[in-house]
């Protein structure tokens, strides 16, 4: 919970093993630095239980469609939606385990985002990140406005979701099983008009597997100075130059 907001749960999509160092980094960042209560969520250590979940949520040929990492990452996002309903969270934040905050004022920013989100129609996802380096056009940006309707997400490394959206997605799965990695599936639901998508601007986070600081549970990208330089260069161009022409 974040005091002064309707954000009930903060959940981190995490790997079942091999990410102990990342777990410590995130604990230091989220709990010690920002004083946030959060929960790491993983698949089960019991493969039989995982198989039950895979059958429940995914198409029968999902193992042929998605690599193991993408499949289990998507599974954990869906398990978090179940937790949101169980915990009756009005809003929840979902981070993947390579989240990096932009600046040191995340709490102040997320309070403004939450306040504006309270005025939205239920059934939405709010992208908090800049991982695809997509931003609202300068023509649309207004002073004091933080949320902008979008036709697709910006990956699934950091987003805020309301309880209704979690309910909608879980109901959708009962009729049409998931056949895509989580961010593509979000985009499919937005395209079909099942969910509303918004971008928070300025963005609050970026993925370490994109900006060169970290690697993610499923990323094939390496971290390092060269990737960091490329990221910063592209971010500058796309945020401050090309947006004028959109």
CATH number at residue 126: 3.90.550.10
At residue 243, the pLDDT reads 57
Q: What percent of the chain has pLDDT over 90?
A: 73
Residue 90: inside a domain: yes
Q: What is the mean pLDDT of the chain?
A: 90
Q: Note the helical H segments in the chain.
A: 20-26, 47-57, 62-65, 68-87, 106-117, 163-175, 182-191, 208-211, 225-240
Given a cut of 50, whether residue 220 has pLDDT beyond it is no
Phi-psi region of 76 (alpha: psi -120 to 50; beta: other; left: phi over 0): alpha
- CA-to-CA distance for 158 and 214, rounded, in angstroms? 15
Q: Which domain holds residue 191?
A: 7-245
Higher pLDDT, 230 or 28: 28
Q: Write down the pLDDT at residue 225.
A: 65
**In-domain check, residue 233:** yes
Asked if the model's pLDDT at residue 211 lies above 70, the reply is: no
Higher pLDDT, 222 or 98: 98
Are 215 and 145 a contacting pair, CB within 8 Å?
no
Q: Is residue 2 part of a domain?
A: no
Q: Looking at residues 190-208, what average pLDDT do you find?
A: 95
Taking each helix axis from N to C end, the angle separating 68-87 and 47-57, rounded to the nearest 10 degrees, works out to 80
Confidence grade of residue 215 (pLDDT, cut at 50, 70, 90): low
For residues 152-160, give the mean pLDDT: 96
Count of structural domains within the chain:
1
Q: How far apart are the first and last CA of the chain?
A: 37
Mean per-residue pLDDT for 134-153?
92
Which is it for strands 147-150 and 196-200: parallel, antiparallel or unpaired? antiparallel
Mention every residue, 6+ apart, whose C-beta is less than 8 A from residue 191: 151, 152
Chain segment 8-64, per-residue pLDDT in tens: 999 999 998 888 888 999 999 999 999 999 999 999 999 999 999 999 999 999 999
* % of the chain beyond a pLDDT of 70: 86
Six token digits for residue 170: 């879980």
Question: What mean pLDDT comes out for the span 172-181?
Answer: 96
- What phi and psi, each to the nearest 5 degrees, are found at residue 220? -100, 0
Give the span between the Cα atoms of 234 and 56, in whole angstroms: 40
Whether 1 is in a domain gets the answer no
């Amino acid at each position: 919970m974040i005091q002064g907001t309707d954000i009930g749960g903060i959940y981190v999509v995490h790997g079942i093993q091999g990410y102990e160092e990342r777990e410590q980094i995130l604990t230091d960042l989220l709990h010690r630095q920002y004083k946030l209560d959060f929960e790491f969520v993983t698949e089960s250590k019991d493969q039989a239980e995982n198989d039950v979940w895979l059958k429940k949520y995914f198409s029968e040929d999902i193992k042929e469609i998605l690599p193991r990492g993408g499949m289990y990452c998507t599974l954990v996002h869906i398990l978090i939606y179940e937790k949101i309903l169980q915990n009756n969270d009005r809003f929840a934040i979902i981070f993947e385990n390579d989240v990096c905050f932009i600046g040191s004022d995340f709490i102040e920013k997320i309070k403004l985002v939450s306040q504006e989100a309270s005025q939205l129609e239920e059934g939405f996802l709010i992208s908090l990140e800049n991982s695809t380096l997509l931003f609202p056009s300068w023509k649309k940006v207004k002073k004091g406005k933080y949320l902008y309707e979008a036709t697709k997400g910006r990956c699934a490394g950091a987003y805020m979701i309301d309880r209704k959206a979690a309910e909608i997605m879980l109901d959708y799965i009962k009729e049409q099983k998931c056949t895509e990695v989580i961010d593509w599936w979000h985009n499919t639901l937005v395209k079909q008009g099942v969910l509303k998508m918004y971008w928070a601007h300025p963005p609050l986070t970026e993925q370490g597997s994109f900006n060169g600081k970290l690697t993610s549970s499923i990323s094939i990208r390496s971290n390092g100075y060269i990737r960091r330089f490329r990221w910063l260069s592209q971010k500058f161009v796309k945020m401050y130059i090309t947006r004028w022409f959109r």
